[in-house]
Amino acid sequence: LYIGGGFPEILADKLEKNHSMKKAVKRLAEDGMPLYAECGGLMYLTRSITYGKKRRKMAGLFDADTVMTGRMLLNYTRGKISAGAPISGARSFQGHEFHYSRLDSVSSDSKFACKLDMGKGIANCRDGLVAHNTLASYGHLYFGPSFARAFVKSCSRYSR
C-alpha cells in the first residue's frame, strides 16, 4: 500500500469519520503488509492532526501527533536507509520535504529508518518512522529503480 503526500488537514474531518478505512489501514500494517507513506501519508498514520483549534483522530499506527504550524518547510533531502528497515533494498536516497506541520509527542522508543545528510526530517535529521513493515516519512523520495524493486519484492513476499 502506498499513501502519497497531499494535504490531509484539509479533509481531516472526513478522514476522521472514515472509521472503517482507518481500522483497515492500521490492521493491514500490523499484519505486516508493506506500506510506504510520505508526508500527508505519514500525517494520516499518526494519532491525530490538529489544524486550527480542531484535533482530528487519524489511524494511530504511530505514537505521535501532527500539528499544523502555518510555517512552510521546504528542503531537498539526501540520506541513507538503515539495513533491516522496511523497503531497505535502496540504501541511499534523494528527495525533498515540503510541509506546514510538525510531529509532536513522538514516542521516545520510536524507530527511525533514515538518517539525513541534507534536510530536517521528522526530528534531528532523522526521518522514516518504522512500525511492522511500514515506512512513513516527511520526505518525498525520488524513486529510483532500486527502491521500486525493493518495494515490489517486499510486496511479493507478503502476497497471499
Catalytic residues: 39
User: In terms of Cα–Cα distance, which of 140, 54, 159 is closest to 98?
Assistant: 140
Is the Cβ–Cβ distance between 32 and 1 less than 8 Å?
no
- Looking at the DSSP bridge assignments, the partners of residue 36 are 2, 135
The span from the CA of 118 to the CA of 125, in Å, is 8
Is the Cβ–Cβ distance between 135 and 113 less than 8 Å?
yes
What cell numbers appear for 56 in the block?
482530528
